[in-house]
Amino acid sequence: METFERVYQKKWYILGNELDAFEKKYAEYNEVAHCIGVANGLDALTISLKTLNIGPDDEVIVPSNTFIASWLAISNTGAKIVPVEPDINTYNLDPQKLWNSITNKTKAIMPVHLYGQACEMDAIMEIAKKNKLYVIEDNAQAHGCTYQGQLTGSFGDINATSFYPTKNLGALGDAGAITTNNPILAEKARLLRNYGSESKYNNQVIGLNSRLDELQAAFLAVKLNHIATWTIERKALANIYHEQLKNIGDMRLPDIAPRADHVYHLFVIRTEQRDKLQQHLYNNGIDTAIHYPIPPHLQNAYKHLGYKKGAFPIAEKLANTILSLPLYPGMKNSDILYICDRIKKFYA
C-alpha cells in the first residue's frame, strides 16, 4: 500500500524513476550490465529477437516442449521455428541434438530453462560459438537459477524473462524484462520497447509499445528483496518430494543435470498413469496441473507447419505423462507430506 501511495502521488506512470530503479536493481541481481523492463515475457522474447535483426530469412532453434510463448516470439519476427527435442529426464534442451538442426540459415538458439532448471549452458554456448549463432535465453521460469555458479539470463547475447504473477518473481499484473551485457543491444531494445522512439516523436525503427509501468516496477523492486528467501523455500519443499517419492511405482522425479541448479518454478513428475493419479489426488483435495498438455507443434495455431502426431515423440510423451505437483513459498512441510502420503497410497 505504501508503494502504491508513493507512485500514485507522483502521478508519473510510464518510464520514470521507479522503472530506472528496478532495472538497475534487477541487472545487479542477475549480474548483467543492462536490464530493460518491458510489458511481458512474450514481448521480452520478441524484442530480444528483433534486436538481433532476426527476421523472415532466418531460422531459430527452440525446444519442442516449451511454453508456446517461446515459439510465438519467433513467429512474431517471421523467422522459421526449428524445434529440437529435450532430454526426457531433465525436460531441457538436449545439446547433443542441436548439431543436426543447424543449417546455413540458423541465426540463434533459444534455450528455455524449463520449470526452473538451468539448461546445460556450457555445451550450448560452445555449440553457438562454433557455429557463430546468437543465444537468447528464455529465463521466464528460472529467476535466480545458476549453471556452474553463473546466473541464467546472463549467458546469452540478449535474454528475456517474465514477471507474470505466478512466476518465481511475479508482478501484480503483466511485466517482463530483457537482460544483456551488450550496451548496443541494450540501447536498441530500449528503442524497440518505446515505439522505436529515441526522443519524443523521433522514431528510428519500427518499434512496439511494450513498457513496464511505474507501478509494476515499484512492486517488483519490493518483491525482489524476497526472491532469495522464496527460492530457498522452494528448494526445501522440493527436497521433501525428492526424499519421500524415491522409487515409487513408475513415477520419475525431475532429474538435475550435473552442473545445473533448479529453482523449482514447478515440480514436474512423470508417470504412465498420469490421468488416474491426477484424478486420485483431486479426489483427495489436491489440485495438480499439466505444463503443458499440448505441445506447440500440435496446436491449431501451428497447423500450417504441417507437423503430424509423432513428429516430436519426446515432447508428445512428456505432454501425456507429466504432472506438476503443488509447490509454492509459504506451503507447509506437512502439506507436502500429505500429498506424498496420498501418492504412495495410489501406488500401493
The span from the CA of 267 to the CA of 254, in Å, is: 7
Whether 167 sits among the annotated catalytic residues: the reply is yes
Which of these segments, 7-15, 34-42, 98-106, 236-244, binds ligand PLP (CB under 6 A)?
Answer: 34-42
Minimum separation from the CB atom of position 209 to ligand PLP (A): 15
CB 163 within 8 A of CB 169: yes
CB 243 within 8 A of CB 332: no
Which of these segments, 26-34, 40-48, 93-101, 336-344, binds ligand PLP (CB under 6 A)?
Answer: 40-48
The span from the CA of 93 to the CA of 120, in Å, is: 8
In this complex, which beta carbon is closest to ligand PLP, that of residue 174 or of residue 316? 174
Query: Which of 141, 146, 288, 324 touches ligand PLP (CB under 6 A)?
Result: 141
In this complex, which beta carbon is closest to ligand PLP, that of residue 159 or of residue 180? 159
Collapsed DSSP state (helix, strand, coil) of residue 82: strand
The answer to the question of residue 41 lying near ligand PLP (CB under 6 A) is yes
DSSP string, 148-214: TTEETTSSSSSEEEE--TTSSS--SS--EEEEES-HHHHHHHHHHHBTTEEETTEE-S---B----H
The answer to the question of residue 137 lying near ligand PLP (CB under 6 A) is no
Collapsed DSSP state (helix, strand, coil) of residue 83: strand
The answer to the question of residue 67 lying near ligand PLP (CB under 6 A) is yes
The answer to the question of residue 42 lying near ligand PLP (CB under 6 A) is yes
| 98 CB-near residues (< 8 Å, 6+ apart) | 61, 84, 109, 124, 127
252: amino acid identity, one letter: R
In this complex, which beta carbon is closest to ligand PLP, that of residue 155 or of residue 346? 155
Q: Which one of the listed residues 167, 276, 303, 345 is annotated catalytic?
A: 167
Catalytic residues: 167
Contacts to ligand PLP by CB under 6 A = 40-42, 66-67, 69-70, 112, 138, 140-141, 162, 164, 174, 176
